[in-house]
């Protein structure tokens, strides 16, 4: 790797302090440029209307079939003043002919790298596409962990050819900071999760299709809940899901499928959570949902839920409206726009004008990760509001082999530099538990899983479901007859594409949970 490290901390010795706590570097000061020791692939150039910018070029490999190398410039970056704070890291980036890298985490880098004993290694990179693009503001938001030590800023191209120009580095405090929750309630009263008469809901997610045999199998396994995914191109970026009329036609088609499913569920005693998996308006290139930044799509999101509520108000088998799957907002909403939490609250209030009784389940930022519960308070909305989390920690274990992830891990054991066992999983879920106890609210684990070929996947599922049961949480496994990687009916052999002749241990664990169920009243 062609890189050199400068000897002074960029944040401390150069750059412009911003009001309210923050930092900006435009490279105009000679001292700022001197902070970097440039490699042969990097240079300072003048850009029209900008002044000095950093150019990094990585030529294609001269050998046929060989991947491009990696070129980078690095400099120490002092993040200690931001320990325990949520920050927004941004850079202006222009790029030309950037090739598609072998793995999605390669490519353009304007990345802050650090490690702590508690959190392990982290790489916080602004999201950039491949190909060519004019100057654009690229962003990532993250929490700087307590106890952070040395950090590095890395600018370059990793296993990707092309040229980039970088300017206007900015680090600011995110207005979305941790909330100080009250201590646990003493002697809290019983709380409704919207399924009174059924102690607990335990089930699985299903794909957007009418599959009566799958429903019969889940019923035979004694599941009493399905989470129905209304999904297409759910994480696609760019000009996708932006045609509102076409999106609503797709919604109606998905609801027509759901109508068939509900007929069967009423016979089988299975409740349904309606999950809007795909965001109206789609996503920007950093995966942020457009509706948190453009009022046109925020208003449309609310109208979509009015449309759904009018159709299903009073339906005996619809347990909950799941407002948006895994919100992602990597920078603050502009003035006049609702952020991920405020927009869900607005949609929930709109639903309550139509349907006062059906539960509504809401999700936190950053893909509904448990850590998101540090940043929210309960919603002030009438009726039952259920707070949902997804459990895929540690992601390196649960998603090994997914989307090109090459490393293999075993559970329990050391995973990405940290030891994981049941108590470690409990710690990962602690933000959700603290929220539950502070406010006496119902919790639903809408998704959790472990890839079927992960060594120790059955043990992982056993440990997390035992925690869910201990805490009184409803749950739905991800996913039933959707993709073979999550299948409870396939073996642990990654190379075997066929259902197993005998139930794998992962299936036995989940069915042990289902055995505790009572069915919904028919």
Q: Which residue has the tokens 């920050």?
A: 87
Q: Is residue 17 very low, low, confident or very high in pLDDT (cuts 50, 70, 90)?
A: confident
The tokens describing 352, both together, are 């309550």
With contact defined as beta carbons under 8 Å apart, do 3 and 109 qualify?
A: no
Task: With beta carbons less than 8 A apart as the criterion, state whether 151 and 78 touch.
Answer: yes
pLDDT beyond 50 at 7: no
Task: Name the region of 266 (left: φ>0; alpha: ψ -120 to 50; beta: rest).
Answer: alpha
| More confident of the two residues 492 and 518 | 492
With bands split at pLDDT 50, 70 and 90, how would you rate the model's confidence at 119? confident
One-character DSSP codes across 389-423:
EEE--SHHHHTTTGGG-----BSSEEETTEEESHH
- Separation of alpha carbons 90 and 111, rounded Å: 10
Res 299: pLDDT: 98
Q: How confident is the model at residue 172 (pLDDT cuts 50, 70, 90)?
A: very high
pLDDT at 4 over 50: no
Percent pLDDT > 90 in the chain is 85
Q: Mean pLDDT score of the chain, rounded to an integer? A: 93
Instruction: Determine contact, residues 416/396, Cβ cutoff 8 Å.
Output: yes
How much is the pTM? Answer: 0.90
What pLDDT score does 521 carry?
54
The pLDDT of residue 258 is above 60: yes
List C-alpha distances in Å: 102 to 266, 329, 492. Answer: 47, 26, 26
Rounded Cα–Cα distance for residues 224 and 514 (Å): 8
Spatial separation of the C-alpha atoms in residues 417 and 105, rounded to whole Å: 19
Per the model's pLDDT, the better-predicted residue between 210 and 128 turns out to be: 210
Reply yes or no on whether the pLDDT at 345 is more than 90. yes
Lookup: tokens for 304 = 């979509």
Q: Return d(Cα 10, Cα 117) in angstroms, integer.
A: 24
* Helices within 242-339 (DSSP H only): 244-268, 295-312
Q: Is 495 helix (H, G, I), strand (E, B) or coil?
A: coil
pLDDT interval class at 519 (50, 70, 90): low
Per-residue pLDDT at 417: 87
Look at residue 6 in the predicted model and tell me its pLDDT.
32
Spatial contact of 1 and 109, defined as CB atoms under 8 Å apart? no
pLDDT at 66: 79
Residue 335 makes CB contacts below 8 A (sequence gap 6+) with none
Burial (CB < 10 A; 0-12, 13-18, 19+), residue 134, is: exposed
Q: Confirm if 70 and 2 have CB atoms less than 8 A apart.
A: yes
| Mean pLDDT value across residues 54-66 | 84
504 C-beta neighbours (distance < 10 Å), count: 19
Asked whether 225 and 201 are in contact (CB, 8 A), the reply is: yes
CA-to-CA distance for 119 and 146, rounded, in angstroms?
Answer: 9
pLDDT digit string (tens) for 263-309?
A: 999 999 999 999 999 999 999 988 999 999 999 999 999 999 999 99
Look at residue 62 in the predicted model and tell me its pLDDT. Answer: 72
Q: Which residue has the tokens 């309606």?
A: 274
3-state SS assignment for residue 7 = coil
pLDDT of residue 12: 42
Position with higher pLDDT, 234 vs 16:
234
Rounded CA gap, 485 and 478, in Å?
A: 10
pLDDT in tens, 386-411: 999 999 999 999 999 998 778 999 99
Higher pLDDT, 102 or 17: 102
Q: Extract the tokens encoding 396.
A: 């390196």
Q: Is residue 85 predicted with pLDDT exceeding 70? A: yes
**What does the alpha-carbon distance between residue 189 and residue 185 come to, in Å, rounded to a whole number?**
9
Place 104 in a pLDDT band, splitting at 50, 70 and 90.
confident
Return the percentage of the chain with pLDDT > 70, whole number: 95
What's the rounded mean pLDDT across residues 69-77?
92
Residue 11 pLDDT > 80: no
What b/e sequence results for 141-176 when a residue is b if at least 16 CB atoms lie within 10 Å of its CB, and e otherwise?
bbbbbeebeebbbbbbbbbbbbbbbbbbbbbbbbeb
Q: Residue range 402-429: average pLDDT? A: 94
Please name which of 303, 320, 475 lies closest in space to residue 385, comparing C-alpha atoms: 320
């Amino acid at each position: 790797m062609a890189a050199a490290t400068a000897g002074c901390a960029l944040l401390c010795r150069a750059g412009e302090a911003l009001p309210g706590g923050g930092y900006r570097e435009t490279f105009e000061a000679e001292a700022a440029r001197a902070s970097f020791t440039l490699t042969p692939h990097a240079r300072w150039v003048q850009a029209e209307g900008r002044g000095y910018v950093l150019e990094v070029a990585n030529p294609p490999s001269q050998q046929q079939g060989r991947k491009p190398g990696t070129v980078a410039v690095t400099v120490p970056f002092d993040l200690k003043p931001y320990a325990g704070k949520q920050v927004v890291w941004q850079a202006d980036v222009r790029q030309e002919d950037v090739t598609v890298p072998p793995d999605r985490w390669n490519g353009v880098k304007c990345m802050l790298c650090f490690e702590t004993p508690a959190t392990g290694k982290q790489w916080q990179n602004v999201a950039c596409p491949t190909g060519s693009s004019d100057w654009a503001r690229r962003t990532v938001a993250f929490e700087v962990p307590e106890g952070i030590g040395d950090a590095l800023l890395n600018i370059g191209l990793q296993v990707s050819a092309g040229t980039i120009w970088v300017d206007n580095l900015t680090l600011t405090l995110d207005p979305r900071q941790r909330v100080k929750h009250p201590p646990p309630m003493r002697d809290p009263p019983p709380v409704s999760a919207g399924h009174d008469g059924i102690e607990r809901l335990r089930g699985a997610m299903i794909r957007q299709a009418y599959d009566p045999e799958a429903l019969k199998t889940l019923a035979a396994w004694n599941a009493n809940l399905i989470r129905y995914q209304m999904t297409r191109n759910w994480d696609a970026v760019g000009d996708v899901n932006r045609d509102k009329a076409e999106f609503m036609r797709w919604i109606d088609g998905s609801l027509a499928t759901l109508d068939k499913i509900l007929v069967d569920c009423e016979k089988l005693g299975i409740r349904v959570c309606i999950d809007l998996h795909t965001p109206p308006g789609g996503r920007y290139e950093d995966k942020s949902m457009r509706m948190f930044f453009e009022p046109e799509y925020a208003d449309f999101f609310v109208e979509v839920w009015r449309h759904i509520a009018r159709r299903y108000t009073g339906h005996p088998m619809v347990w909950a409206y799941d407002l948006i799957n895994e919100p992602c907002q990597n920078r603050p909403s502009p003035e006049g726009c609702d952020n991920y939490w405020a927009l869900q609250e607005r949609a929930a209030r709109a639903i309550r004008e139509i349907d006062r009784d059906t539960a509504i389940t809401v999700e936190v930022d950053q893909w509904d990760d448990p850590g998101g519960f540090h940043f929210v308070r309960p919603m002030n909305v009438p009726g039952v509001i259920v707070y949902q989390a997804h459990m895929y920690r540690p992601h390196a274990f649960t998603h090994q082999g997914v989307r090109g992830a090459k490393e293999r891990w075993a559970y329990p054991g050391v995973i990405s530099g940290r030891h994981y066992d049941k108590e470690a999983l409990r710690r990962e879920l602690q933000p959700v538990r603290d929220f539950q106890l502070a406010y006496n609210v119902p919790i639903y684990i809408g998704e959790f899983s472990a890839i079927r070929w992960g060594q120790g996947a059955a043990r992982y599922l056993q440990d997390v479901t035992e925690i869910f049961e201990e805490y009184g949480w409803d749950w739905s496994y991800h996913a039933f007859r959707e993709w073979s990687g999550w299948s409870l009916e396939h073996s642990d052999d990654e190379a075997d594409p066929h259902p197993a002749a005998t139930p794998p241990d992962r299936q036995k664990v989940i069915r042990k949970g289902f055995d505790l169920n009572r069915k919904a009243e028919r």
